[in-house]
Chains A and B, each alone.
Chain A
């Protein structure tokens, strides 16, 4: 089961600076298992979406080459302190995870 994300969102002027750290193995499918010599099947996040106060601010599609335990940083203008920020991801095996935080 997927582990929780770390989300930090802070206001800087009228812009919210958001940083998300996800826990995911992000396997490319190009690596071999050192012990068995078998290819390790791909396992990676494909979709990410973020809403702030119910408005979708960011949608992303990811490929094979986003680094392990992905970091995502972005800025949202017009967000307000106290608004709720919700981050969703879905991987290629159908695992998903939703976490939320409040803008400080």
Chain B
């Protein structure tokens, strides 16, 4: 008789834990917001896939996109990138590092007088091309620049 009671208590205890875990899972914030984040594009493993997911395939090379980065980045964790697009009507600027596990880093949408200029700092896994994709007037343009990354090096 006593043993059955013990088994019963154990059983309810376990069930209670599961219920708590589910409740905790349901209460986790941010899941609704995550849905509108372009998950497919940011988790794409190749530049080509990422570009497809932000509908920027078949971009034409353009000399009007200027990318300012250090030629050699000593620390891959902080690589300053400055993008200037001289293409009139620039609405979108995306930054990708081709050799990163997930190449797409950031996508900016500009409006209401914001100029074709974005400056930020990115992380790079290793030496790679930094590719910038610009959307302007329904067309897609691109430019690339190589950045050498020397993690743990003596500053080359």
Contacts and interface: CB of A to CB of B under 8 A. Distances in A.
Interface in A53-104: 55-68, 70-79, 90-95
A52 interface: yes
Interface range for A: 35 or more
Contacts of B14: none
Nearest to B79: A67
Nearest to B106: A62
Contacts of B120: 66-67, 70-73
A91 B28 CA distance: 13
A23 interface: no
Given A66-B106, A71-B121, A91-B30, A58 B111 contact: yes
A15 interface: yes
A71 B78 CA distance: 10
Interface of A: 15, 26, 28, 30, 46-47, 52, 55-68, 70-79, 90-95
Interface of B: 28-31, 33-34, 37-38, 42, 77-80, 82, 97, 100-102, 104-115, 117-124
11 contacts: A47-B33, A55-B112, A58-B111, A64-B42, A65-B100, A66-B120, A70-B120, A73-B119, A74-B114, A74-B115, A93-B30
